[in-house]
Amino acid sequence: MNDDIILEPTLLRAVWRYRWLVLLVATAATAAAWFYADRTATQEWSAEATVVAEDPLASILFENSDTRRDDYISDQVALMESGDVADTAALLAPEEDPDFPYVGFEMLERRRIFESDARITVRMVAGTEAAAIAGANSFTRAYQQIVQQDAQVFFDNSISVLDTVIAELEQELVDVGTEIQAAQEIINPDLAALEAQYNEALPRLFELFEDLERAQGEIRDALLLQIEDIRTQIATIEQLNRIEEQDQTAIASLLEQQRRTIVRLDDLAEQRDRLRVDAQLLGAGSSSNTRAAFATLVATDVLRLILAGAFLGILIGSGLAYMLALRRRSITDRAQPELVLAAPLIAEVPSFRQEGIRTALPVKTHPRSASAESFRFAAAALDLSRSTPIGSVLTEGKLVVVTSANVADGKTVIAANTALAAAREGKRVLLIDADFGSQEATAMLTDERPQSGITEVVETGMALSEAVLPIEGTGTSGLHLLSRGWQTTSAPEFFRNPATRDFLDQIQEFYDLILLDAPPLLSVAYTSTLAGMVDKVLVVTRHNSSATSLEELQDRLDLVGTPTVGYVYNLAPLRLDISRNEGSMRDVLGQQPAVTAGDV
């Protein structure tokens, strides 16, 4: 037995078997989804605005670098996604669209943020084109405002710190100048005139620094020249002090301190000026902003709903198909019945129509057909299994009942053709038409109307030779038919009669094989009685028949206890390997083989 043969359906096979059901359910679900989407879906518009984020601290004087902070862009994306930007954008959007309908949290749900290098793109989806454009632009504007405000706070704080440091340095410069003046008056009175000039220049220097903060253009350049002149005078005093042979170490130290203080003061003042310029030029946090000028109509949920409906329909249809396949498991392979019956396949009978056979008896009308050969297989198998071991004794198993699970499985055709095939093999065969309700075997084998049958033999004592009807063959071999007869009796009562069992036991000495064409086991109750009276049961199962019915048949046979000799797989698809045997059958049919020129 092939281990790959199974009775349980697979999902793919179930879907293919009930593909029209799956298609119908999928189509209905798709139509329902389309109807729902058409009634509920609304049009929406999408607009995009882009801002190039630039770190406002990347080029301030303290760092003097064009390198952006590594985490700056990710921080800006997080800022763009924040509720603060959304709330600010909701306040700015009505400036472009007076009918803008969304508040901050709604804008968060409708916007998408994309980042590529330093470019941050905002995509806004809204119910109208104007709202989509206004929403996208308001997001970038709100972001720029918040970044500019943060940067302005930073710059203001930085300038405030610089102002404090500059004030401290100016006071330090005043203190150092006072110390220098005092020291020079004590050590070198001759330098009094120069020191007087210094004392006059120093306040002037302070005034120049204050004016420098407010000056611009040419005035600023003139002030810088005056500051340079005063510094030159101070350098001259320092030079004279170094020339002095007297010990002026203290004065030199003070002068050096004064010089360093002046340099630092000058640098800080320049930094403060540049920082103010940076606050105006770089504090926006972006170098460019691409506004949304138009919006595009986005795909609505209609397509997605339709696809979802189709997918759901396929799932539901597949599930229904699998459930139906489980309930209606079919026999689709000749080896499958063996899994249920635990009995071998003795013959595979193809569909007669596939061979162009239009009669019910191909053994008689088309002896060289694959169908006729399959019946000869069945007859040979029954002959091989006539002896049935019971314990240690071999008993003759001549009595075989032919039955099936349901009507239309073809058990009468199987019984009649198998009987004919066995008779033509030289056996004496008796076919008993035990299907009292239909008598199809009788109608199939003869056009005559039998005047008597098994009921007359059992109930009236009529001789068997008077009741049987010869179908074909000689006295020593051939096929005899025993029909129902005309006695008034019911089939269940007749086959429960002990005389019927005695009759079946007695006639075994006259025949090599006795086949009983019984009704379907699941349709007629007395078939179980018949099965209990014989030696073996031959089961006929049809291609694409119900596996559940076959399982029920086996359950009943288990209750009866009669062994199953095997099964015939009926109405099977015609296989190529069994259709190409015409030449080999010439010898079987007693014909001389044709001799061609190539054989000589």
Q: What CATH code would you report for 344-440+470-481+504-575? A: 3.40.50.300
Other residues' Cβ atoms within 10 Å of the Cβ of residue 412: 26
Q: What CATH code would you report for 44-157+288-300? A: 3.30.1890
Lookup: tokens for 590: 């007693």
The type of residue at 306 is I
Lookup: tokens for 540: 């006929």
Decide if 318 contacts 14 (C-beta within 8 A).
Answer: yes
In the structure, what pLDDT confidence band is assigned to residue 596 with cuts at 50, 70 and 90?
very low
Decide if 36 contacts 28 (C-beta within 8 A).
Answer: no
According to DSSP, the β-strands at 393-396 and 469-473 are unpaired
pLDDT for 132 equals 86
d(CA 93, CA 102): 9
d(CA 307, CA 515): 60
Task: With residue 291 as reference, give the H or E element that holds it.
Answer: none
Q: Is 561 helix (H, G, I), strand (E, B) or coil?
A: coil
Decide if 540 contacts 414 (C-beta within 8 A).
Answer: yes
**Positive or negative: CA dihedral 356, 359, 360, 365:** negative
Helices 72-80 and 129-187, interaxial angle, to 10°? 130
Long-range contacts formed by 382-387: CB under 8 A, 24+ apart: 382/346, 382/418, 382/422, 382/513, 382/538, 382/565, 383/422, 383/425, 383/427, 383/512, 383/513, 385/536, 385/565, 385/566, 386/513
Question: Percentage of the chain with pLDDT > 90?
Answer: 34
- Output the DSSP codes for 197-227: HHHHHHHHHHHHHHHHHH--HHHHHHHHHHH
Query: For residue 542, what are the β-bridge partners?
Result: 570
Is a pLDDT exceeding 60 seen at residue 114? Answer: yes
Instruction: Provide CB contacts within 8 A for 210, sequence distance 6+.
Output: none
Is a pLDDT exceeding 50 seen at residue 245? Answer: no
Instruction: Provide CB contacts within 8 A for 471, sequence distance 6+.
Output: 420, 423, 431, 445, 446, 478, 479, 480, 481
Is a pLDDT exceeding 90 seen at residue 517? Answer: yes
pLDDT for 28 equals 92
Q: Which region among 196-200, 422-426, 523-527 has the lowest average model confidence (pLDDT)?
A: 196-200
Of 359 and 12, the structure prediction assigns the larger pLDDT to 359
Helices 192-214 and 129-187, interaxial angle, to 10°? 170
d(CA 247, CA 242): 9
φ, ψ for residue 497, nearest 5 deg: -70, 125
Lookup: tokens for 352: 């007669």
Sheet with 399-404: strands ordered across: 345-350, 564-572, 536-542, 399-404, 513-517, 428-433, 478-482, 469-473
d(CA 125, CA 44): 7
Is a pLDDT exceeding 70 seen at residue 11? Answer: yes
Q: Is 478 helix (H, G, I), strand (E, B) or coil?
A: strand
Instruction: Provide CB contacts within 8 A for 341, sequence distance 6+.
Output: 539, 550, 554, 564, 567
Is a pLDDT exceeding 90 seen at residue 411? Answer: yes
Of 308 and 10, the structure prediction assigns the larger pLDDT to 308
d(CA 116, CA 151): 23
Query: For residue 45, what are the β-bridge partners?
Result: 126, 297
pLDDT for 370 equals 92
Decide if 104 contacts 86 (C-beta within 8 A).
Answer: yes
d(CA 408, CA 441): 14
H helices present in 244-300, as ranges: 249-281
Scan for tokens 């590529």, then name that residue. 116
Scan for tokens 């109750």, then name that residue. 525
pLDDT for 419 equals 96
The type of residue at 310 is A
Task: With residue 415 as reference, give the H or E element that holds it.
Answer: helix 411-424
Q: Which region among 152-156, 162-166, 365-369, 383-387 has the lowest average model confidence (pLDDT)?
A: 383-387
In the structure, what pLDDT confidence band is assigned to residue 554 with cuts at 50, 70 and 90?
very high
Q: What is the mean pLDDT of residues 71-90?
A: 83
594 burial via Cβ count (<10 Å: 0-12, 13-18, 19+): exposed
Q: Is 46 helix (H, G, I), strand (E, B) or coil?
A: strand
Q: Which region among 99-103, 127-131, 240-244, 309-313 has the lowest average model confidence (pLDDT)?
A: 240-244
pLDDT tens per residue across span 208-229: 777 777 777 777 777 778 777 7
Q: Is 163 helix (H, G, I), strand (E, B) or coil?
A: helix
Decide if 550 contacts 337 (C-beta within 8 A).
Answer: yes
pLDDT for 112 equals 84
| Arithmetic mean of pLDDT over the chain | 81
The type of residue at 281 is L
Interior angle at CA 276, CA 275 and CA 277, nearest 5: 90
Other residues' Cβ atoms within 10 Å of the Cβ of residue 299: 11
Is a pLDDT exceeding 60 seen at residue 137? Answer: yes
Measured CA to CA in angstroms, residue 227 lies from 165, 238, 262, 275 at distances of 20, 17, 10, 22
d(CA 402, CA 411): 7
Q: What is the mean pLDDT of residues 97-120?
A: 83
Query: How many alpha carbons lie under 13 Å from residue 62 in its C-beta half-sphere?
Result: 11
Is a pLDDT exceeding 80 seen at residue 322? Answer: yes
Is a pLDDT exceeding 80 seen at residue 193? Answer: no
d(CA 105, CA 95): 19
pLDDT tens per residue across span 18-75: 889 899 999 999 998 888 877 766 677 888 888 887 766 554 444 444 555 667 778 8
